[in-house]
Chains A and B, each alone.
Chain A
Amino acid sequence: MELVPYKNTDVAPDRLDLLEAVREGDKKALATLLRELLPSVRRWLFRLLGPRPDLDDATQDALIALTKALPRFQGNSKVETFAHTVTVRVAYRYYKKRDREEPLTLVPPAPETIDPESVAINREALRRLHRCLERLPDKKRIAFVLCAVEGMSPAEAARIEGVTSVVMRARLSSARKEVTRRLSADPYVQALVERKARSRASRRGGQR
Chain B
Amino acid sequence: MSDHDLLEEVLDSARQVAPDALSVDDIDRMIGVALSGESRGEPEVEVETSPERGRTVMVLAIAATVLLSIGAGWMLRDRDLGSDDSAVASSSPDLATEARDEGAAQTAPDDSVALREELADPAQPAPTEAIEAVAANVTHTHARLPSGDQIVSTSDAELSLLSVSEHRRVAVLQGAVLFDVTPLQEAESFTVVSSDLEVHVRGTVFSVSHAGEVRVFEGRVEVTRGDQRWSVSAGESFRDERLVEQVDDGPLAREGQAAAARREARAEEVEVAQVAETVTETVTETATQTPSSARPSRPRPARRARTPRVESLAQIRARIRGGDLSGALSQVDLACRLGCAPGYRRVRADALRGLGRFEEAASAYDALSDPHARYQAARVRFGPLADLEGAVTSLSAVPLSSPYAERALGLKVRALTRLEREAEARAAARVYLGRFPDGGLREFMESIVE
Contacts and interface: CB of A to CB of B under 8 A. Distances in A.
A15 interface: no
A61 B6 contact: no
Contacts of A51: 17
A124 to B, nearest CB: 8
Interface stretch (B8-16, B57-65, B257-265): B8-16
Contact of B18 (A30, A46, A196): A46
B34 A66 contact: yes
Given A185-B195, A190-B6, A60 B1 contact: no
Interface in B265-314: none
Interface residues of A, number: 70
A16 interface: no
A118 B44 CA distance: 40
Contacts of B438: none
A99 B267 CA distance: 44
A179 B7 contact: yes
B22 A187 contact: no
Interface in A101-131: 108, 118, 121-123, 125-126, 128-129, 131
Contact of B47 (A82, A96, A148, A190): A82
A68 interface: yes
Contacts of A121: 13
A207 B123 CA distance: 52
A166 interface: no
A2 B391 CA distance: 101
Contacts of B16: 118, 122
Contacts of B3: 180-181, 183-184
B45 interface: yes
B108 interface: no
A198 to B, nearest CB: 12
Contacts of A76: 50
A184 B171 contact: no
Contacts, number: 144
Contacts of B26: 56
B162 A196 contact: no
Interface in B1-55: 1, 3-4, 6-7, 9-11, 13-20, 22, 26-27, 30-31, 33-35, 37-40, 42-50, 53
A85 B48 CA distance: 10
B162 A74 contact: no
B165 interface: no
Contacts of B27: 35, 38
Contacts of B45: 65, 68-69, 86, 89-90, 93
Given A42-B19, A43-B19, A69-B49, A63 B6 contact: no
Given A74-B49, A96-B123, A188-B173, A64 B13 contact: no
B329 interface: no
B252 to A, nearest CB: 21
30 contacts: A34-B34, A35-B27, A38-B22, A42-B22, A43-B18, A43-B19, A60-B30, A60-B33, A61-B40, A63-B30, A64-B33, A64-B38, A67-B35, A86-B45, A90-B45, A95-B123, A98-B123, A126-B13, A129-B11, A179-B7, A180-B6, A180-B7, A183-B6, A187-B162, A187-B171, A190-B6, A193-B6, A193-B10, A196-B9, A196-B13
Given A42-B19, A188-B171, 13 more contacts: A59-B30, A60-B33, A61-B42, A63-B34, A64-B38, A64-B39, A74-B50, A123-B17, A149-B11, A183-B3, A187-B160, A187-B193, A191-B162
Interface of A: 4, 27, 30-31, 34-35, 38, 42-43, 45-47, 51, 55-57, 59-61, 63-69, 72-74, 76, 82, 85-86, 89-90, 93, 95-96, 98, 108, 118, 121-123, 125-126, 128-129, 131, 148-149, 162, 176, 179-181, 183-194, 196-197
